[in-house]
Homo-oligomer: A and B are copies of this chain.
Amino acid sequence: MAQRTSGLFTGIYARGEAAALVSDESYWLAAMLDVEAALARACAAEELIPADAADAIGAACRATERFDLETLAVEAALHATPIPGLVRALRDAVGEPYAAYVHHGATSQDIVDTALMLVAARALVVIIADARAAADRAAALADAHRQTAMIGRTLMQQALPVSFGLRAAGWLTGLDAAVGGLQRVSARELAVQMGGPVGSRPHAVAARVAAELELTEPVLPWQAIRVRPAALAAALATLAGVVGKIARDVTLLAQQEVGEVRERDDGERGGSSSMAHKHNPVAAVSALACSKRIPGLVATILAAMEQEHERAAGAWQAEWGTQRELLALTGSATAWGRKLLERLEVDSDRMAANLAQAAAPAAPAPDDPDELIDRALQAHRR
């Protein structure tokens, strides 16, 4: 489904740059044209097409404004892929004598899959940046609240004393682990697809396109072997899951009856349409609104691994919109999570008061949290 970056629900579902990047149709168009241009350069370097043809194709690909999304949409429905229409339009734009060199030896899947990887690579940059900023903020909270005692809670019941710094250190390790996973995906799984119609194209062109686009060089074309899309989806879900955990904690700690944290009013949050006295944890709620939509999308990507022969009839096409949603919603969850941590106010007096009232055994000094917090901070700095 096509998406705009504005609308009634996009304030919640599309915070941050990633959502904007993957939701904007013109961005996908640009990525597809980037792939066609890189393909032309690779073919020229391999002496499969004239160098002048590659130049002409490259120039046409940069003029993205000349491509009409409405027309492309209509043609996409004729073929169950947007590429035939795009190639036709690109050939028109290139004109004679080089039109015939457009899309040389390629197939729709080469362009769509590689464009998806390119879009993912660009979105991951901003998602990782937001996640790292969130982790930095969690680290600061862990460091600042090493000795801020609070009652630990298990099965949603008061248990034994712990420190808020250690809670924040836990958030930090989760964010760090999720960032590490996305970095590995970015470095290893985002590979070009350049196999030609049935995945048998020699590797040389793929290698050159990978270098052009700064994507990974795969062992083979991976047309119906969908390990890479699954790895991307799983890594995104891990980050969203960690953000969801943090947001859930904040909604619980921000209950008035608990009152141990709140989202600071930074001019970007508001009250209720019917209850002016309420102080809703808007960032936490919005982060959860996004993170809760992720697991079902991952199930779709995993179920779509069962792809027929050299190119699937349905399962592949189901991935496109699903990966877009995964990138957009994880990006939005992360941007909300970052905002949440940035505006988080900790009420250590209330923590102390709750702890004093807890039915925990008298004076079991909490284990000294410094050692554990130091471990988390050191791991974060690496």
Contacts A162-B310, A200-B366, A306-B288; A1 near B25 (Cβ below 8 A): no
A193 within 8 A of B: no
Q: Which of B200, B244, B270, B371 contacts A163 (CB 8 A)?
A: B200
Asked whether B157 lies within 8 Å of A279 as measured between CB atoms, the reply is yes
A123-179, CB < 8 A from B: 152-163, 166-167, 169-171, 173-174, 177-178
Contact B306–A298 (Cβ < 8 Å): no
A330 CB, min distance to chain B CBs, angstroms? 12
For chain A residues 224-246, which have a beta carbon within 8 Å of chain B?
224-227, 230-231, 234, 237-238, 241-242, 244-245
Task: Flag the segment in A49-57, A78-86, A93-101 that touches B.
Answer: A78-86
The answer to the question of A66 belonging to the interface, with a C-beta cut-off of 8 Å to chain B, is no
A61 beta carbon closer than 8 Å to chain B? no
Q: How large is the interface on A (under 10, 10 to 19, 20 to 34, 35 or more residues)?
A: 35 or more
Task: Flag if A308 contacts B252 (CB, 8 Å).
Answer: yes
State A315–B245 Cα separation when bound (angstroms). 11
User: What residue of chain B has the Cβ atom nearest to residue A311's Cβ?
Assistant: B154
Partner of A318, one of B160, B202, B292: B292
B367 engages A286 (CB within 8 Å): no
Against B, the Cβ 8 Å flags (1 = close, 0 = not) of A1-15 are 111111111111111
**Contacts A25-B7, A289-B318 hold; do A12 and B173 have CB atoms under 8 A apart?**
no
Contacts of A309 in B (CB 8 A): 152-154, 156, 167, 249, 252
A372 at the interface (CB under 8 A from B): yes
Across the interface, name the chain B residue whose C-beta is closest to A369: B200
Residues in B with CB closer than 8 Å to A78 are 11, 268-270, 282
Chain B residue at smallest Cβ distance from A306: B244
With a 10 A CB-CB cut-off, give which of A174, A218, A255 has the most chain B CB atoms.
Answer: A255
A256–B203 CB distance below 8 A:
no
Q: Tell me, in angstroms, the Cα distance from A197 to B71 when the chains sit together.
A: 46
In the complex, A248 has a CB within 8 A of chain B: yes
**In whole angstroms, what is the CA distance A373 to B324 when docked?**
32
- Is the C-beta of A106 less than 8 angstroms from some C-beta in chain B? yes
CA distance A229 to B191 in the complex (A): 26
- Measured CB to CB, the closest approach of chain B to A15, in angstroms, equals 7
Find A317's partner among B12, B77, B109 (CB 8 Å cutoff). Answer: B12
Contact of A308 among B222, B248, B314 (CB under 8 A): B248
Given contacts A197-B274, A241-B306, A245-B305, contact A80 B155 (CB under 8 A): yes
Chain B residue at minimal CB-CB distance from A111:
B273
CA distance A288 to B234 in the complex (A): 21
Closest 8 CB pairs of A and B: A288-B314, A2-B7, A11-B77, A241-B305, A152-B198, A289-B317, A11-B76, A296-B296
Subset of 16 A-B contacts with CB under 8 Å: A9-B82, A80-B286, A106-B274, A107-B275, A170-B220, A173-B218, A173-B225, A174-B222, A181-B231, A197-B274, A227-B238, A241-B305, A251-B313, A292-B300, A293-B322, A298-B299
